[in-house]
Amino acid sequence: MKTVCFALMLCLLSCGTNNNQQSSESKASSNTTMSQDDLIETGQSLFLQKCSSCHAVNMNLTGPALKGVDKRWHNKENLYAFIRNSQEVIAKDAYAKGLYESNHKVQMPPFADLKDNDILAILTYIKNASISARH
Ligand code: HEC
């Protein structure tokens, strides 16, 4: 009986290890395996590197405050596309056009290298930072 239990445990342990390996390999390309905390952490570092010179979460700088931004965009694809190349979306989307015009036609630089998961991470960070802000 003991041997059976032991064998079962070994199997469970090795199955568990396999899963972990898989999830760390696919972490970079898929969002299903990244935990909320990982997303927030990745998002924060991307935001500080690439966005914080023009954006804050709760305050307008060169660019608008990003608090609640995911709710202002009804079409998520356009939001992702705007972050990758704002001019492309300004040309076809009325909300983006209005935003550009009300921001003195300051162009946001394109971030073509951001993957879906990077953008999701940044948006998750923004959401989390808006919730934890006191004001
Ligand atoms: C050089 C300044 C600059 C940088 C850097 C910048 N942005 Fe912007 N961003 C703007 C401006 C200006 C606007 C307003 C729209 C426009 O003028 O095109 C804007 C608008 C936005 C909007 C739409 C806001 C809304 O209220 O709907 C999002 C989302 C956004 N930026 C995300 C980002 C992200 C994410 C990064 C970093 C990867 C970033 N921006 C980096 C200047 C910048």
For residue 125, pLDDT beyond 70: yes
The residue among 48, 46, 54 whose CA lies nearest residue 108 is 54
Taking only the tens place, the pLDDT of each residue in 2-25 is 555 455 454 444 444 444 444 444
Look up residue 63 and give its amino acid.
G
Ligand 1 atom with minimal separation from the 122 CA: 35
CA dist 11 and 15 (Å) reads 6
In the reported structure, the alpha carbon of residue 75 is separated from the centroid of ligand 1 by a whole-number distance in angstroms of: 16
Nearest in space to 39 (alpha carbons), one of 49, 28, 48, 50: 28
Task: Give mean pLDDT, residues 19-39.
Answer: 61
| Per-residue pLDDT tens digits for 92-115 | 999 999 999 999 999 999 999 999
Quick one: average pLDDT of 77-97?
97
Residue nearest atom 30 of ligand 1, based on CA coordinates: 83
- C-alpha dist (Å) from residue 95 to 11, 54, 66, 75, 109: 55, 20, 15, 10, 18
Looking from the CA of residue 102, the nearest atom of ligand 1 is 17
Residue with tokens 């059976």: 4
Q: What pLDDT score does 17 carry?
A: 44
Q: What is the pLDDT of residue 33?
A: 75
52-74 residue pLDDT tens: 999 999 999 999 999 999 999 99
Give the residues surrounding ligand 1 with Cβ less than 6 Å away: 50-51, 53-55, 62-64, 66, 69, 72, 83, 86, 99-100, 103, 106-109, 111, 122
